Structure 1
Amino acid sequence: MPERGGDFQQVQGAFAAYLRDPRHNPLPPGVPPRRMALYRELFLNNIESFLASGFPVLKSILAGECWQELVEDFFARHRSRTPLFVAIAEEFLAYLRDERGHVPTDPPFLEELAHYEWVELALAVAEGEPPPCDPAFARDPLPCTVRLSELAWPLAYRFPVHRLGPDHQPVAAPEQPTFLVVYRDRDDEVRFLEVNGASYRLLALLEQEGPLPARVCLQRIAEELCHPEPSVVLAYGAELLRDLAERGVVGGG
């Protein structure tokens, strides 16, 4: 019996290797080429369908042969760590980061755009709830403790990923990075908000160290900015926190 099991595993391995990469693996003995081609088409189309639904902007930019080559290379080279279909997008990110390497035809923003599209998908299925509305926080957030929603992710990119598309494909990153917060609101809609560097720093601080007293948090931002009038930062920050709380990005701690 152990020998039969070993034989079956060898056949199964050869079958899978050919399906993944028929150019570099021999056809398994005893299986008609036409049938293997059909199996491969079914598997590959299934993977392509999941990637296309998870990365629609990336597909629209690459299109045609470049997109198909990317899908086939992922299918051939990457070994997923999970059998869950919902995790295919995250596995694709791991492939781009660790295995893809330099391909001259790839746009310079490939990995960042893929990450941004994955964030939208990940937040759509993430467990958790935005913080509830807090009337006291809405009146005056400064005396309150503030926390970042578990469904809000502050992000920094070299490229303006939220504006990329077939008609906008920069060949070099702008001088200034793009700061975004992508979040799921109280209506379960995933949204994004472009913010400036100081607002991003505030959200990153809450992500790393929060919950924090709002006044203390804003005073730290003022010190980091070496702002000559900290009261201006506090006033601006209070309005920002009210707006973010209304959106469900932050809440009282």
Structure 2
Amino acid sequence: MSGVLREQQFALTRHLRDPQHAPAPENLPPQRLQVYRDLLFNNLQALLGSSFPVLLQVLDDAEWDALCRRYFIEHRCASPLFTEVAAEFVDWLQPQDALPRPFLAELAHYEWVELALQSHDAQPPAACAGDVDLWHAPLQRSALAWPLAYQWPVQQIGAAFQPVSAPPEPTFLLARREAEGHIVFSQLSPLAWHLLVQMDAPGLRSGAAHLEQLASAHGLDPAAVEQPGRALLAQWVATSVIGPAMLPTGG
């Protein structure tokens, strides 16, 4: 590719991304340029809008247009797959400090979780046999059950509720994919969230060991944690949030 042609292509793409600030290459018909400007931006905006319906509820048309335009101008997608555009939009939002709503980055992540879990190719943990003792057997979290933590109550935000300041306590959620493919969100207590996150730490631990570690980390009496902990583990096993860990086999 010649240097002249390469520069012409870069000039064209710069203009298509940011027509207000990047001049169009010379000798290109304005009508054709307008077709490409509209086609590219409208396709991106429609794709993002279908992925983030709540964002569309909390932003007016001008705010949504401006946000999509910023993303179009500033971000360079690492993947050509349309399914990855929403994930890259979420990643781009996280460090932005000039958003039209302070909760926008977390709300977008919360909406993206449902899309990501629906398309995740992981399998749920194996079903527990009736004789498995969860108190002593090593446990692991399902790859289809995600513990989430947010500063904002993202599950409540919508057109009718748009807080201007974050509450003093964070919001802890569990997102999981059921066998039928439905995505279910539920609220977690802080201790339940910490327990579930703890199961991602290296090393395989039994239910008893996990609860003992949780009690130690939070200054609690292990005996007081046992009964509610057993009930929570049983509930998570029943809903495939956790399951018996796959032990490595010897070679």
Q: TM-score, normalised by structure 1?
A: 0.91
Contact 1:148 1:210 in 2 (8 A): no
**CA–CA distance in 2 between the matches of 1:223 and 1:91?**
38
Deviation at 1:189, TM superposition (A): 1.8
Match of 1:101 among 97, 101, 116: 97
Structure 2 gaps, min length 5: 246-251
Question: Matched residues in 2 for 1:209 and 1:193: separation?
Answer: 26
**What's the CA shift string for 1:34-61, capped at 9, x where partnerless?**
2211111110111011111111111111
Matched, 1:132 2:126: yes
Q: How does 1:233-244 map to 2 (within 5 A)?
A: 233-244=225-236
For 1:171, the aligned partner's letter is V
**Counterpart residue number, 1:214:** 207
**How much has 1:96 moved relative to structure 2?**
1.4
Question: For residues 218 and 136 of structure 1, do their structure 2 counterparts lie closer, same or farther at Cα, with a shift above 3 Å needed?
Answer: farther
Q: Return the offset for 1:21.
A: 0.4
Please state if 1:158 is matched with 2:154.
no
* Secondary structure of 1:203 counterpart: helix
Whole-angstrom distance in 1 between the partners of 2:65 and 2:71: 10
Residue 7 of structure 1 is aligned with which of 4, 7, 24? 4
Q: Whole-Å Cα distance in 2 between the matches of residues 35 and 200 of structure 1?
A: 54
Cα drift, residue 140 of structure 1: 4.8
Contact kept, 8 Å, 1:185 with 1:249, in 2: the verdict is no
Counterpart-to-counterpart distance in 2, 1:189 and 1:19: 39
Give the Cα separation in 1 of the matches to 2:223 and 2:91. 44
In the alignment, the residues of structure 2 paired with residue 57 and residue 95 of structure 1 have an alpha-carbon distance, to the nearest angstrom, of 18
- Residue equivalent to 2:40: 43
Amino acid at match of 2:97: G
Distance between the aligned counterparts of 1:235 and 1:208, measured in 2?
23
Secondary structure of 1:182 counterpart: strand
Deviation at 1:73, TM superposition (A): 1.2
How far residue 210 of structure 1 moved from its aligned partner, in angstroms, is 5.2
SS of corresponding position for 2:63: helix
How many matched pairs? 245
Is it true that 1:57 corresponds to 2:54 in the alignment? yes
Q: Distance in 2 between matches of 1:208 and 1:49?
A: 39
- What root-mean-square deviation, in Å, do the aligned CA atoms of Structure 1 and Structure 2 show? 1.6
Residue 85 in structure 1 maps to residue 82 in structure 2: yes
Partner SS for 1:192:
strand
Q: Which runs of 5+ in 1 are unaligned?
A: none
Give the structure with the larger helix fraction: 1
Q: Which digits, 9 at most, give the CA deviation of each residue in 1:50-85, with x for residues without a partner? A: 111111111111131111111111111111122121
- For residues 16 and 178 of structure 2, the distance between their equivalents in structure 1, rounded to whole angstroms, comes to 42
Mapped to 1, the partners of 2:165 and 2:8 lie a distance apart of 47
Residue 45 of structure 1 aligns to which amino acid in structure 2? N
Kindly indicate whether residue 91 of structure 2 is the aligned counterpart of residue 70 of structure 1. Answer: no
Structure 2 CA distance for partners of 1:147 and 1:237, relative to 1, 3 Å: same
Amino-acid identity (%): 36
C-alpha contact 2:134 2:206 (8 A) present in aligned 1? no
